[in-house]
């Protein structure tokens, strides 16, 4: 979900590009750029974009495995996840 703070005008992005790039890199969140008050573009830093693509690829692999009949039933996968030792949460 896009936060209101991440919605900016294209003009503001053009005038303050360096500040936007620092914010994009530090937060990892995309920004919605507007033209005449309407959303026109989404900008995101390269590392965050790669993470998004990796997530999409993982979802696609799971869907493909289920279609091929090689995936695990949900309950079995959930039980295996719950049986693993708790890992520390990633820092944001």
Q: How far apart are CA 63 and CA 26, in angstroms?
A: 32
Write the CB contacts of 29 (distance below 8 Å, at least 6 apart in sequence): 3, 6, 44, 48
**How confident is the prediction along the chain (92 residues), in pLDDT tens digits per residue?**
778 889 999 999 999 999 999 999 999 999 999 999 999 999 999 999 999 999 999 999 989 998 998 888 888 888 888 888 776 666 65
- The predicted structure's pLDDT at residue 22: 95
Q: How far apart are CA 75 and CA 36, in angstroms?
A: 48
Q: What is the pLDDT of residue 87?
A: 65
Say how many CA atoms lie within 13 Å of 53 toward its Cβ. Answer: 7
CA distances from 28 to 6, 10, 45, 50 (A): 11, 19, 7, 11
- pTM exceeds cut of 0.75: no
């Amino acid at each position: 979900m896009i936060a209101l703070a991440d919605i900016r005008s294209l003009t503001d992005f053009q005038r303050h590009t360096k500040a936007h790039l620092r914010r994009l890199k530090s937060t990892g969140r995309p920004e919605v750029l507007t033209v005449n008050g309407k959303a026109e573009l989404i900008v995101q830093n390269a590392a965050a974009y790669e993470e998004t693509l990796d997530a999409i690829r993982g979802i696609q692999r799971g869907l493909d495995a289920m279609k091929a009949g090689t995936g695990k039933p949900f309950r079995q996968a959930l039980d295996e996840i719950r049986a693993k030792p708790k890992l520390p949460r990633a820092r944001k």
